[in-house]
Amino acid sequence: MAFLDDETWRGRIFTGSWVTSAGGDTAVVEPATGREIGRAGMAAPADVADAAKVAANAQRAWAATPFQQRAAVLRKAAELWRVHSEELGSWLARESGSTAAKVGFELHVAEQECLEAAALPGRPSGSVLPSEAPRLSMAQRVPAGVVGVIAPFNAPLILSIRSVAPALALGNAVILKPDPRTAVCGGVALARVFEDAGLPPGVLHVLPGGRETGEALVSDPNVRVISFTGSTAAGRSVGEVAGRHLKRAHLELGGNSALIVTRDADLAGAVGAAAWGSFFHQGQICMTTGRHLVHESLFDDYVRLLAEKADSLVVGDPATGDVALGPLIDAGQRDKIHALVTDSVAAGATLAAGGTYTDLYYRPTVLADRTASTRAYREEIFGPVAVVTPFESEDDAVKLAGDSEYGLSLGILTGDAMRGLALAERIPTGIVHVNDQTVNDEAHAPFGGVRASGTGSRFGGAEANIEAFTETRWITARAGIPGFPL
């Protein structure tokens, strides 16, 4: 029997056991072909309320489980991502349109996230404090309780597991709401992995659903922390609802990341890095290189070479061939991308490559925008579109790179790495890569953006995860009851 046997999860949601969902079910569609490849349950707000009650009860026993046992569950989960990589990778390719490189990246990160999380239960859970009184005084980190995780379609496994794994390791229960378009590889897969890893029933719930389900999750009184990854517009709404209910919301939002190519950069290397940064997973990544800021002395050659690279890339079905780009997730995403491209060309940008599509296959596109004013330059595209703009001086590059509402990732390609680091200090972003493009992710490294890209680093690394998914409690103890002057 397959690990993700569809007779087990077809039309169902995971709430500690597989049950029929109140929201009915929806088709699992392969974007490369348009074929239905399964059906997944859709959770309604009533499912959220029920799951949250079960999770709140199950969390107490899970938090009291010896730390070695919690660590063992996470280690076993890491092993299962590797053992079942072929089947899980097939779902990533078919359901999310991921190429072989993207599939390998997601499965590797999922394994590493679980291994990093496995170390969390054994970390010190607090500190001893000095006190004015003759007593033992301590600050203790305790589980937040029930954590709600809302994850998008573009990197469904990574963007779920990076919150689910550390939250579970630290003694929380989790309710995960994956995007319905990737309910299997972003939701069912996690439920099956942790079930087989020995996670007790009721601790992890997977509830695919739409906006109403997400709102119910954010507002449910049993859910104390929200970890959201998605668009800036949706993140603002999540933050507002969470604020009204006085609960923490960790928001990882959109981006329009800049790649600065200085005068002394290796041009051939820069073009190779740039193509990866803009076209990996069809540009459907928050860290995607959207704006290429290139010194004016290199501009014409850079546009020409990047366009040649784009034209050479193979676009097709990643489940049946070795391709560089797969399909976009759906027609709505494709039409949004194409509108941004055509509007920008009409506004004066030069189309150097691409700008066409067949079905959901969008050709990698290069636009030369000398004015830095078109929609494709100013907005997050979330598609395989590279917008190239020249700059005259480093001060000019700093101004252009910083002139954005976003602040997620920054790449600087230069012949002088130390000068690149100095340049990075002048540009506000949550992530910087000198002599690399903007798309990087490692389980142990802090990840997050500033400005409209989110509320700062709270994924990756023990400190960030402990801060995100625990509360601090002050505890004192005396040998006897003191006298009081009343």
Query: Are the C-beta atoms of 30 and 60 separated by less than 8 Å?
Result: no
Structure tokens at 164: 């689910």
Selecting among 286, 379, 405, 463, the annotated active-site residue is 286
- Of the candidates 257, 254, 260, which has an alpha carbon nearest to the alpha carbon of residue 424? 260
Cα dihedral 312/314/315/320 (nearest 10): 180
Cα gap 73→64, rounded to integer Å? 14
- Of the candidates 171, 189, 196, 60, which has an alpha carbon nearest to the alpha carbon of residue 121? 171
Cα gap 285→438, rounded to integer Å? 10
Cα gap 308→151, rounded to integer Å? 35
CA angle, 455 then 457 then 458, to 5°: 90
Selecting among 30, 116, 195, 252, the annotated active-site residue is 252
Q: How far is residue 338 from each of residues 354, 383, 436, measured CA to CA in Å?
A: 10, 9, 28
Query: Are the C-beta atoms of 322 and 370 separated by less than 8 Å?
Result: no
For residue 395, the tally of other CB atoms under 10 A from its CB is 10
For residue 332, the tally of other CB atoms under 10 A from its CB is 9
Cα gap 172→147, rounded to integer Å? 7
Active site residue 185: no
Q: Is 71 helix (H, G, I), strand (E, B) or coil?
A: helix
Q: What are phi and psi of 287, to 5 degrees?
A: -90, 0
Active site residue 392: no
Catalytic residue list: 252, 286
